[in-house]
Amino acid sequence: DVKVTQSSRYLVKRTGEKVFLECVQDMDHENMFWYRQDPGLGLRLIYFSYDVKMKEKGDIPEGYSVSREKKERFSLILESASTNQTSMYLCASTGLPLSYGYTFGSGTRLTVV
Amino acid sequence: RKEVEQDPGPFNVPEGATVAFNCTYSNSASQSFFWYRQDCRKEPKLLMSVYSSGNEDGRFTAQLNRASQYISLLIRDSKLSDSATYLCVVIPLNSGGYQKVTFGTGTKLQVIP
């Protein structure tokens, strides 16, 4: 089975802190994604990557950046955490074509206080 | 109109009942469709793909109606363990660039003893 591993299940950070969320997949997938999920809003795409060192903005990239230095690892960075970034963050990966479906990590519930 | 719309529910049904959810999509060029299941505080997991001719997996049946632009999920003989939120996923035809994957906000199912 494909495994997508997110480094933390729960995080509490202070406003203004720089926050790193790590995601690792073990199936040599080209595509990796970061979503946030909020009640009533569903899953919203923050950033995605099709290849090493490649990144593309999703629907809500403001306040976030990403890094993909190795194929298996995709990091989400909150440059200066704010309370409106309190959310569930989900990493996903998939091979090609995308019609094979996504595999998600177990999520990181981030609270910014 | 939202790209993908689902009735949020909750659908409260007794054990053993048959229940059906629909998911409407606005992009007629949509190509691939999926149903995901998400348990409370967990990540979404792929339940089944939706094929043009319809497909069945045990108690679950997925159908696609291109003319009316919706997909459906039918669950027969509902079990308590079916209680979850069901997300539909729509992927458009690849136009050469990024395939924008759109998640519905989910329909909550509660199966009652």
Average pLDDT over residues B43-60: 93
Q: Answer whether residue A14 shows pLDDT above 80.
A: yes
Three-state secondary structure of chain B: CCCEEECCCCEEEECCCCEEEEEEECCCCEEEEEEEEECCCCCEEEEEEECCCCEEECCEEEEEECCCCEEEEEECCCCHHHCEEEEEEEEECCCCCCCCCEECCCEEEEEEC
pLDDT tens digit sequence for A32-51: 999 999 988 889 999 999 88
CB contact under 8 A, A98 and B101: yes
Residue A51, helix vs strand vs coil: coil
For position A100, what pLDDT does the model report? Answer: 65
Closest CA to B43 of A104, A38, A50: A104
Average pLDDT over residues B24-32: 86
Is any Cβ of chain B less than 8 angstroms from the Cβ of A45? yes
What's the token pair of residue B62? Answer: 């997925």
Q: Answer whether residue A1 shows pLDDT above 90.
A: no
Residues of chain A in contact with residue B99, where contact means CB-CB under 8 angstroms, are 97-98
Closest CA to B73 of B53, B94, B56: B56
pLDDT tens digit sequence for A68-104: 999 999 999 999 999 999 999 999 998 766 656 788 9
pLDDT tens digit sequence for B63-100: 999 999 999 999 999 999 999 999 999 887 665 555 67
For position A40, what pLDDT does the model report? Answer: 85
